[in-house]
Amino acid sequence: MCGIVGYLGPRPVLPLLLEGLKRLEYRGYDSAGVAVRSPAGIQVCREVGKVASLEAKVGLERSRFAGTEGIAHTRWATHGVPAERNAHPHRDDKAGIHLVHNGIIENYTTLRKALESKGHSFQSETDTEVLAMLVGELYEGDLESAVQAALKQVTGAYAIAVMAESEPGVMVAARKGSPLMVGLGQGEYVVASDPSAIVAHTTQAFALEDFTVCRLSQDGWRTSNLHNAPVSPKVMELEMKLEEIELGDFPHFMLKEIFEQPEALRNTLRGRFNAEQGEVILGGLQQVGRDLVKARRIVLTGQGTAWHAALVTEYMIEEFARIPCEVQYASEFRYRNPIVEEGTVLVAISQSGETADTLAALEEGRERGAMTLGVVNVVGSSISRMTDAGVYLRVGPEIGVASTKAFVGQVAVGALMAIYAGRRRHLSIEATKHLLVELEAISDKIRAVTAQSDLIRDLVAKVVDRENWLFLGRGYNYPVALEGALKVKEISYIHAEGMPAAEMKHGPIALIHDGMPCVFVAPKGSQHDKVIGNMQEVRARGGRVIAIATEGDEAIVPHAHDIIRVPECPEALSPLLTTVALQLMAYHAAVLRGHDVDKPRNLAKSVTVE
Ligand code: M6R
């Protein structure tokens, strides 16, 4: 995943591109670059590292970048190490084509060989340079038709923005698989990977569809397919507000997003149930509700945090609706000859809606005849468009690479789907009303957890130098243990393992010694006594027990060295509270260890490659 931004209009372009890159930096940050059309021709600057490094470098020769048209890119390396030569924009060696790209050109080796045989020589190891070279090879004075012709030869995924040295005032963008939007301002255009780089300039925009090419010029814009037939995009009003994508008073997006969870959850739930009548109303599932209720089997799929939310959802669907349910990593599902019989419903869970493995799993399921549903945050994303129906999370833009509020939204939507199907199958009206009233109350209860942020930081400070942590939970809080371990790993670089608490004694207990942090996700619930038993086993071997426990639970006190309290709630909904405590633990561990919380090493916000 990479970030693209392009601008064509009357304003000085360099500050605008740098600002856009900063907003898109969550998409990848191992190198960055700009190409600006100046009176002396297109000027390029590329630098390894974050956008700030590029800004510093380009700032040294700012006058060279005076111009009002340009393209820019922030990279998450796929082909070739993070190095200046591999950073975008790439250019061809003949026609003065400059190109930025997000995606993967799958047949780039074949194309490269063909281009080399025609005498082209390459400076980088990237697939993108091959595309720039191909456009240059086909260029005969019309950038739009050269791009169309080149893309006909390409397999894979791309979002691109392109300029040609000899066509001032023209920019061409195109998309297949990777997202790209065009913002329409007053006599100006902003092309970007997502609306966050557009909304500061205009709220009128359209998303490019697959295989669409867009030509922007001072005279206007047009969109066409690869065969030059006109295509009419749907221009929309962007709903994203600037404050949603700005830090405000928070030091990091992750902390901001953790603290936003009460409001995010309210937005997820708003208008989707009536607790008094025990009714769940999911507009997005209206057409397929019957099929969901009658499903013979539900398969939930996703990756990372979304996969953990799927596990919680599985427990809820089986408990409330009694529909056989299973969770599969999308990356495994797509390759394992999965069983899809009549009545199988495949539900893809994803914050971004662009995760490559999840998209591929959906395609696989759809081809085998499954009804497909999406539980997605980003409106208009690929998953939301390719599924038969779905429910949006509505938690607002999530910018921190570590997913937080999306998890809460995913679990809440999972709960609504499970209660919706449950009520039409096995769940009594009383049980339904009770669950909905409790679900409604969770937002305020999350505040009680975030209010303990300082306490959690102090508690984490005691163990932050330890390199190995365990996370343990049972039932609904087993997936939470997995999620806690993932959060700690990805932003603090501490090795952490999550597992069902009972699994510990089948091997991992051998690791426990001398103050090893063992985090027990242990709110009150059906297996509470068993979890306390597991805590005793850890303490007996010298481990340090940190418990996430229900307010007022005194039974746990003698068994834990430290306790983080969460308000009481039904067991099935407890992940919505316990996870927040673990998010804060991970956040503070990362800050205490001095890491860049929002941009952890080697990662990017969404994984659009296999
Ligand atoms: O956008 P998605 O929800 O499909 O992303 C799935 C995972 O890549 C994502 O949850 C990842 O594990 C996060 N960085 C976890 O914090």
Residue 527 φ/ψ, nearest 5 degrees: -115, 25
Q: Which CATH class is domain 3-244?
A: alpha beta
CB 208 within 8 A of CB 161: no
| DSSP string for 407-428 | HHHHHHHHHHHHHHHHHTTT--
Encoding tokens for residue 131?
């595309």
For 520-555, the pLDDT digits (tens) are 999 999 999 999 999 999 999 999 999 999 999 999
Q: Which residue has the tokens 């306790």?
A: 563
Give the pLDDT of residue 589.
Answer: 98
Give the pLDDT of residue 380.
Answer: 83
Secondary structure letter of residue 230 according to DSSP:
B
CB 604 within 8 A of CB 401: yes
Do 247-449 and 452-600 share a fold? yes
Encoding tokens for residue 419?
């209660």
Query: Taking the model in full, what pTM does it have?
Result: 0.91
Angle at which helices 304-316 and 405-423 pack, to 10 degrees? 30
Using most ligand atoms within 8 A of CB, pick from 312, 351, 401, 411 the residue to mutate for ligand 1: 351
Residue 610: how many CB atoms within 10 A of its CB? Answer: 11
Atom 7 (ligand 1) nearest CA: 304
In a 10 Å sphere around its CB, with 0-12 CB exposed, 13-18 middle and 19+ buried, how is residue 409 labelled? buried
Q: Which residues pair with 468 in a beta bridge?
A: 495
149 Cα to the center of ligand 1, angstroms: 35
Encoding tokens for residue 451?
């209010």
203 residue type, one letter: T
Domain boundaries, the chain: 3-244, 247-449, 452-600
Ligand 1 atom with the smallest distance to the CA of 404 is 16
Element (H, E) at 22: helix 13-24
Q: What does the alpha-carbon distance between residue 92 and residue 101 come to, in Å, rounded to a whole number?
A: 14
Distance, C-alpha 528 to centroid of its chain: 33
CATH code linked to domain 452-600: 3.40.50.10490
Using most ligand atoms within 8 A of CB, pick from 178, 307, 355, 411 the residue to mutate for ligand 1: 355
Q: Which residue has the tokens 């700690």?
A: 488
Ligand 1 atom with the smallest distance to the CA of 401 is 14
For 261-282, the pLDDT digits (tens) are 999 999 999 999 999 999 999 9
Q: Is 269 in the pocket of ligand 1 (CB under 6 A)?
A: no
288 Cα to the center of ligand 1, angstroms: 27
Q: What contacts 533, CB < 8 A, 6 or more positions away? A: none
Give the pLDDT of residue 79.
Answer: 82
For 459-469, the pLDDT digits (tens) are 999 999 999 99
306 Cα to the center of ligand 1, angstroms: 6
Q: Which residues pair with 102 in a beta bridge?
A: 159
304 Cα to the center of ligand 1, angstroms: 5
551-583: string of b/e by CB count within 10 Å (b at 16+)?
A: eebeebeebbbbbbbbbebbbbbbbbbbbbbbb
CB 42 within 8 A of CB 165: yes
From the list 344, 404, 356, 416, the residue with the least C-alpha distance to 377 is 404
CB 123 within 8 A of CB 85: yes
221 Cα to the center of ligand 1, angstroms: 35
Q: Is 404 in the pocket of ligand 1 (CB under 6 A)?
A: no
For 424-452, the pLDDT digits (tens) are 998 999 999 999 999 999 999 999 999 99
CB 224 within 8 A of CB 151: no
Q: Is 223 in the pocket of ligand 1 (CB under 6 A)?
A: no
Q: What is the mean pLDDT of the chain?
A: 96
Q: Which residue has the tokens 């009694």?
A: 322
Q: What does the alpha-carbon distance between residue 570 and residue 350 come to, in Å, rounded to a whole number?
A: 25
Q: Is 351 in the pocket of ligand 1 (CB under 6 A)?
A: yes
Taking 70 as the pLDDT cut, the residues of the chain under it are none
From the list 149, 173, 190, 35, the residue with the least C-alpha distance to 98 is 35
Domain 247-449: CATH architecture, name and number where available: 3-Layer(aba) Sandwich (3.40)
From the list 545, 149, 207, the residue with the least C-alpha distance to 354 is 207
Ligand 1 atom with the smallest distance to the CA of 358 is 4
Ligand 1 atom with the smallest distance to the CA of 352 is 1
Residues serving a catalytic function are: 2, 605
Q: Is 384 in the pocket of ligand 1 (CB under 6 A)?
A: no
Q: Is 305 in the pocket of ligand 1 (CB under 6 A)?
A: yes
Q: How far apart are the first and last CA of the chain?
A: 11
From the list 128, 55, 136, the residue with the least C-alpha distance to 86 is 128
488 Cα to the center of ligand 1, angstroms: 14
282-293: string of b/e by CB count within 10 Å (b at 16+)?
A: bebbeebbeebb
Residue 98 φ/ψ, nearest 5 degrees: -120, 135
Cis (ω within 30 of 0) for the bond into 89? yes
Ligand 1 atom with the smallest distance to the CA of 403 is 16
